[in-house]
Structure 1
Amino acid sequence: MKGSRPLRNGVREARVRLGLSQQELARAAGVTRQTIGGIEAGLYQPSVAVAMRIARVLGAGVEDLFWLEDEVPRVEAVMALPPARPASGRVSLARVGGRWVAYPLGGERAFRTEVVPVDGLVEEGEEAGGEGRVAVRLVGGDVEDLERGVVIAGCSPALGLWAREAERRHPGLRVQWLHANSTQALEMLAKRLVHVAGVHLRDPATGEYNVSFVRRALPGRAVSLIHLGTWREGLAVWPGNPKGLRGAADLARPGVRVVNRERGAGARALLEEALRAAGVPGETVQGLDRVVFSHQEVAREVARGAADAGVVPAAVAAAYALDFVPLQEARFDVAIPDEWLTLEPVRQLLATLSLRALRRQLELAGGFTTERTGELVARVVA
């Protein structure tokens, strides 16, 4: 009918979430695969009976799967990062510090070990008040569900373990892990773009971990540093260590190639400090200017023979079946502004640190020593 409002649906999202093919859903709902395809493409509006059967198979209410276009909720959000290129408009969302934050999902940002669910679509050609704000149309969810989210920025893959365990223990809790080095994580925390920052930065002047960096990054705010674990950091080398590398001094030998991390990464700071302590000028080390952006990328470069050594945690070297030359034990903490410690999603996330099952996973897969996991190690008040 002319002037009628288009009917939208979330059938495809619900079907994919349950791991069903179009054919499987069609068979269970008593319709043809073409009917399901037409509904998902917006080419066919189902009858009430068909809609009810589909909803029953998908374990959802009819109104959760079908809605009128102008009923789709919208929110105003701040973009946490520049959009990926090419920009897709797809974002995930979280409520941080009283405002919505949108995290672009494009390129590698759209993946962890699985596709990151899309929470909304940025409305093209619409602005929402300047300062990088955008209008976002929600996809297949509601505001109340999204407000149960907490966002962690950091570089350790163990943060992903923590996120999944917290979601498993607290149904409805949403935990997003954004990969960022320690400096980037603190910058995002200071800008109120995330709730939690993972940090492993050592002050070479004092030997103290994390406190001075948090104080500088978040002046005027009270921040709690909670211990996640202690891990060994060192050089990942080819199995059998054919170059016979024993420490930073050996990296200046002819024929030895390293791979480095970006500025602001704790691994890069460790390598630079180790070279200074060994009296090795950086210009004598081949590959020091070759930069990758994660512990996993460092290990991959060594594993495929493109580099002879790079700084990673011991657990990452083990995951790639590489040998490991230890350089130091590092304290990995998570920084959380005190103003957010009373938020229910943050409280639920922190509560999981006392779980024996999580600590075991942090030890086995994350490579952490967990005797002090969950302990408040410092309260930083700038």
Structure 2
Amino acid sequence: MKQDNELQNRLKQIRTRLGLSQQDLAKVVGVSRQTISGVESGQYAPSATIALRLAKALGCQMEDLFWLEEDCLRVEATSAQTIPVEQDVRFTLARVGGKLMAYPLLGEDAFRTEMIPADGEGWGQTKNNAVQVKLWAQTETINQTVAVAGCTPVLSLWARVAEYWYPSLRVYWSFANSMDALERLCRGEVHIAGMHLYSPETDSYNVSFVQEAVMNKRAVLINLGVWEEGLLVQLNNPKKLRTVADLANSNITIINREMGSGSRQLLEYLLQKAEIPFNAVQGFNSVVNSHVAVARAVASGNVDAGVSTQAVAQAFGLTFIPLHKSRYDLVVLKDYLAETPVQQLLNTLGHPRLHSQLTALGGYDTSQTGEVVATIE
């Protein structure tokens, strides 16, 4: 083997997620542990034979493990609307009448809602929530579906990338705040729960909450990203807000998130740390149920501030005041890791297409994306 600076790999991410050491994998593949270490570090490029053996041992395609770092193709397109000066903007592209059009993903266009096609029609709910369903979709489609619950719109972005890479895969994302998503996972309703809950006692994210919730089940926590979370305020910050302490001003009104959400938990923690009573904050009991709803409330001028992410602020043209770096993790029960659709979805966490999308949002750190950050036994 030789060094190849263009060949990238996510061998370590997939190996550690499956609970294999370098020595374990080396024994299965029939190579030395030093070979596995060299491939993971990018020091060596494996032969085609070894690459195929690695993919077979890890239950994935060779393309899941390796890709070439190539320059992105650049094209010229016509923007459908005027875009902000000196701001990087994400676009959706379409060819219309022979012209390549670029649609800026700004404001509500960045978080568009859709009518979800149904797989069937049901009736006759029992005490155990069982229903009879007249099936419209193919069973193969249903069997290739991964159910994910979480609060960040990034989950739908991840789903699009995964479905592009695996055409037979389907990802169903349902909205749920962090605690609700975790509870759905524990009830067996979803494969994956997304969460960002901070524990001041342990100065860590998510692990203690998962340990308490999953009881005797085994689980892994895989990082999706670390994001900047803070105050969304109107453009150019007309009220001159700087810190959470400024929210105690009687002239400032906020919008809050619901119980169980990571954003509300962060706000409560920071207010307590600043020794500010909750009832001293105007609007503390005014609640909406999503990051996008917070941005809409601030952008409309109905409130002065709310807690969300830098990415949401940028999409709605709002000013952002950073308060805290929050780690967003994906919780997966270990029993689900053996299911092919779940493996396929998780494999794409290391894909450069996803990392590029997350980085372009603003305020996302992808250095740990796809890494196993904790295991619960």
How does the TM-score come out when normalised to structure 2?
0.69
TM-superposed CA distance for 1:158, in Å, is: 0.7
Structure 2 equivalent of residue 286 of structure 1: 282
Q: How does 1:161-176 map to 2 (within 5 A)?
A: 161-176=157-172
Structure 1 equivalent of residue 265 of structure 2: 269
Structure 1 equivalent of residue 134 of structure 2: 137
Can you list the C-alpha shifts for 1:22-45, whole angstroms capped at 9, x where unaligned?
Answer: xxxxxxxxxxxxxxxxxxxxxxxx
8 Å CA contact 1:154–1:199 kept in 2: the answer is: yes
8 Å CA contact 1:262–1:292 kept in 2: the answer is: yes
- The counterpart of 1:301, out of the listed 297, 313, 331, is 297
Structure 2 equivalent of residue 118 of structure 1: 118
8 Å CA contact 1:353–1:374 kept in 2: the answer is: yes
Aligned pair 1:181/2:177, yes or no? yes
| CA–CA separation in structure 1 for the residues paired with 2:235 and 2:351 | 35
| CA–CA separation in structure 2 for the residues paired with 1:223 and 1:112 | 32
TM-superposed CA distance for 1:117, in Å, is: 1.3
TM-superposed CA distance for 1:366, in Å, is: 6.6
| CA–CA separation in structure 2 for the residues paired with 1:367 and 1:214 | 25
Matched AA of 1:280: I
TM-superposed CA distance for 1:217, in Å, is: 1.2
Structure 1 portions without partners, runs of 5+: 1-110
| CA–CA separation in structure 1 for the residues paired with 2:358 and 2:332 | 20
Matched AA of 1:187: E
- The counterpart of 1:228, out of the listed 220, 224, 228, is 224
Structure 2 equivalent of residue 355 of structure 1: 351
* Aligned-partner SS, 1:286: coil
Matched AA of 1:314: Q
TM-superposed CA distance for 1:114, in Å, is: 2.6
* Aligned-partner SS, 2:365: coil
Can you list the C-alpha shifts for 1:228-283, whole angstroms capped at 9, x where unaligned?
Answer: 10000000001111111111110011210000000000000000011111111111
Structure 2 portions without partners, runs of 5+: 1-110
Matched AA of 1:119: D
Q: What is the number of residues matched between the two proteins?
A: 267
Structure 1 equivalent of residue 327 of structure 2: 331
Structure 2 equivalent of residue 92 of structure 1: none
Structure 2 equivalent of residue 322 of structure 1: 318
| CA–CA separation in structure 2 for the residues paired with 1:158 and 1:208 | 22
TM-superposed CA distance for 1:113, in Å, is: 3.2
| CA–CA separation in structure 2 for the residues paired with 1:145 and 1:244 | 52
Aligned pair 1:199/2:195, yes or no? yes
* Aligned-partner SS, 1:280: coil
8 Å CA contact 2:359–2:365 kept in 1: the answer is: yes
TM-superposed CA distance for 1:145, in Å, is: 1.9
Structure number with the bigger relative contact order (C-alpha 8 A, sep ≥ 6) is 2
| CA–CA separation in structure 2 for the residues paired with 1:185 and 1:197 | 5
Can you list the C-alpha shifts for 1:41-78, whole angstroms capped at 9, x where unaligned?
Answer: xxxxxxxxxxxxxxxxxxxxxxxxxxxxxxxxxxxxxx
* Aligned-partner SS, 1:318: helix
8 Å CA contact 2:310–2:362 kept in 1: the answer is: no
| CA–CA separation in structure 2 for the residues paired with 1:166 and 1:120 | 24
Matched AA of 2:117: P
Matched AA of 1:163: A
Structure 1 equivalent of residue 186 of structure 2: 190
How does the TM-score come out when normalised to structure 1?
0.68
Can you list the C-alpha shifts for 1:144-201, whole angstroms capped at 9, x where unaligned?
Answer: 2211110110011111111111111101111011111000000100000000000100
- The counterpart of 1:240, out of the listed 226, 233, 236, is 236
Residues 366 and 177 from structure 1, CA distance in 2 versus in 1: closer, same or farther, beyond 3 angstroms? farther
8 Å CA contact 1:148–1:172 kept in 2: the answer is: yes
8 Å CA contact 1:158–1:366 kept in 2: the answer is: no
Matched AA of 2:135: L
8 Å CA contact 1:157–1:366 kept in 2: the answer is: no
| CA–CA separation in structure 1 for the residues paired with 2:296 and 2:267 | 18
* Aligned-partner SS, 2:269: helix
Structure 1: 4+ residue segments shifted above 4 A: none
